[in-house]
Amino acid sequence: MKNKINKPTSPGRRFLVSQDFSELDRQKPEKSLLKPLTKNGGRNNQGKITVRHRGGGHKRMYRLIDFERKVDGNAEVKSIEYDPNRSAFIALIENDRKEKSYIIAPKGLKKGDQVSSGQKTKISAGSCLQMKHVPTGVPIHNIELTPGNGAAVVRSAGLSATIMAHEENRVLVKLPSGELRRFDDRCMACIGEVSNESHETVVIGKAGRKRWLGIRPTVRGKAMNPNTHPHGGGEAVNSIGLKYPKTPWGSPALGRRTRDRHKNSRMIVHRREKK
């Protein structure tokens, strides 16, 4: 997918880099696969803000994505479409029973192509099968963490993982982060790299486009009062005056590991590289 560089007719368009969606097949989604998407403004079921800087944005409808691919057999790609809820493109497929569903579109998949799922699936872009049937070195995406629970990792635009080795009832996979992790060889995965690899080169260009996406402004803690943020206070421009950065609630920030050391750690062979 190519990007568009616009003429600088205004300050907001001077550095704007947007995507050219002319290669996509449809403008309107399949109505039977839509669901209303309600907004919560970053609030939980108690009405408390758990994720800051969320709110507003354009209305969206959620596209029901088939992350499980439980129906074996072949299916034809009817269209490649845009999905406002994710960075990757999605593909509308129709199987032999005339049932339609959406899947994450891999790179190179086009309208009219055939995708399949099941044990007797050929190794081709968009096909879904258990990882014990995938040869080493083949790029994969949409990987299950638990057999039968549906794809959970490697779903964003331009990502792919690689099968490094087959072990007894386990598959060693290198994830996009650089982490080496073992998976149950019964876990399903899709062949290929996720589409829309040029997503990372997009430049928003102006604050208004962030608001359209439902993202509100972020204020530096140093610019706040000391009773609002640990970094606040002081005269003129100076340092935060702390040994390490803190969140508004006093917890360490910017570098502190937040991953649960006891959660699925036995499956991790080598952790991702530090930045």
The span from the CA of 162 to the CA of 165, in Å, is 9
Nearest to 60 by CA among 75, 40, 76, 43: 40
Nearest to 127 by CA among 105, 154, 150: 105
The residue to which tokens 């199987």 are assigned:
95
For the chain, which residues make up each domain, given as ranges?
3-200, 221-265
* Neighbour count for residue 170 (Cβ, 10 Å): 16
The span from the CA of 31 to the CA of 34, in Å, is 5
Q: Give residue-wise pLDDT tens across range 85-139.
A: 999 999 999 998 999 999 999 999 999 999 999 887 889 999 999 999 999 999 9
CB 213 within 8 A of CB 203: no
Q: What is the CATH number of domain 221-265?
A: 4.10.950.10
Instruction: Quote the DSSP letter at residue 272.
Output: P
Provide the pairing of β-strand 90-95 with 100-104: antiparallel
pTM of the model: 0.90
The span from the CA of 52 to the CA of 41, in Å, is 8
At residue 244, the pLDDT reads 87
At residue 275, the pLDDT reads 62
* pLDDT < 50 stretches in the chain: none
Phi first, then psi, for residue 93 (nearest 5°) are: -120, 155
At residue 26, the pLDDT reads 77
At residue 259, the pLDDT reads 77
- Between CA 241 and CA 251, with CA 245 as vertex, the angle to 5 degrees is 120
DSSP class per residue in 233-259: --SSS----SSS-B-TTS-B-SS---S
Q: Which residues pair with 152 in a beta bridge?
A: none
Buried b / exposed e over 128-158, threshold 16 CB at 10 Å, is bbbbbebeeeebbbbbbeeeeeebebbbbbb
Residue 58 identity (one-letter amino acid): H
How many residues are present in the chain? 275
CATH class of the domain defined by 3-200: mainly beta
CB 143 within 8 A of CB 179: no
Q: Give residue-wise pLDDT tens across range 225-236.
A: 999 999 999 888
The span from the CA of 79 to the CA of 90, in Å, is 8
The span from the CA of 152 to the CA of 183, in Å, is 12
DSSP class per residue in 47-84: S-BSSSSB------EEE-B-SS--S-EEEEEEEEE--T
